[in-house]
Amino acid sequence: MSYKILSKKELCPNQYELTVYAPYVVRNAKAGQFIILRVEENGERIPLTIADVNSEKGELTIVFMAVGYTTKKLALLNVGDELVDLVGPLGQPTHIKKYGTVVCLAGGYGAAPCYLISKAFKDAGNKVYMVMGARTRDLIFWQDKMRDACSELFITTDDGSLGRKGFVTNVLEEIIANETVNYAIAVGPMPMMRAVANMTRDKNIYTEASMNPIMVDGTGMCGACRVTVGGETKFACVDGPDFDAHKIDFDEVINRTKIYKDIEHKRSENCNLLKMA
């Protein structure tokens, strides 16, 4: 099977959108699921959330940040190039049904998977508010697509360069104060998702959070994406990525992520010392 790149865009600094021909994947793909791809024959396998699909044309769209070795390699590919392989859809789809009023909260890179999620909730008959947040305006993308996928779009930036100055939780607080919210889903950095869960817990708003940022292997083999949910160990890639946000032990996940970052930082320092030697 040939997974040819059909289009490529740089959405914002270091963040790219790729559309790939993958008819067998998009045939069964649903909101919230992900794929695993390889850029080169001996390369690593990386999981990426499905951002959009065109079932009629067999087109799959992914959005990624070029931060690691493989994503930087992926960013170097151009239209006409082919991926070595691509597997999916994987993971459990987002729990789509008619709740009533739904709020989708997307922090930074979380905007990509939120497009299909928001669209699916809207198609199911819900009133859908989309709240996109980022540090600055340069990191906001897909505004027009998001408006089409929801009932009303809000944008927040930490520095106030676009939309409202502040965080997605500021807008969520306003929405909750003005009407009944039946369901909320947060996709983005762990501290942001934890803040959303803390805000909705006492208000009895069923809330889910996507644990896709911590996935590595994507098949449940490596254990890096384990997360404690309601006192039980779950794996984001096979049991999720969406879980009841009020039952997730965010402190555990955030502390483990810090450990991984410290290890990676020390490894980078050692590599630099070896280069200087």
pLDDT the model gives residue 196? 96
Residues 80-94 pLDDT 10s: 999 999 998 999 999
d(CA 255, CA 258): 5
Note whether 13 and 138 are within 8 A (CB). Answer: yes
187 pLDDT band, cuts 50/70/90, is: very high
Residues 109-141 pLDDT 10s: 778 899 999 999 999 999 999 999 999 999 999
d(CA 169, CA 146): 18
pLDDT the model gives residue 130? 96
Fold of 101-256: Rossmann fold (3.40.50)
Share of the chain above pLDDT 90, in %: 64
Note whether 150 and 127 are within 8 A (CB). Answer: no
Summary mean pLDDT of the chain = 87
Residues 206-228 pLDDT 10s: 999 998 777 776 666 777 778 89
Residues of 123-144 as b/e, b for ≥16 C-beta within 10 angstroms? eeebbbbbbbbbeeeebbbbee
pLDDT the model gives residue 1? 64
Closest CA to 139 of 73, 77, 65: 65
pLDDT the model gives residue 240? 81
Note whether 120 and 142 are within 8 A (CB). Answer: no
Where in the chain are the domains?
A: 3-90, 101-256
| CATH 2.40.30.10, domain 3-90, yes or no | yes
pLDDT the model gives residue 86? 92
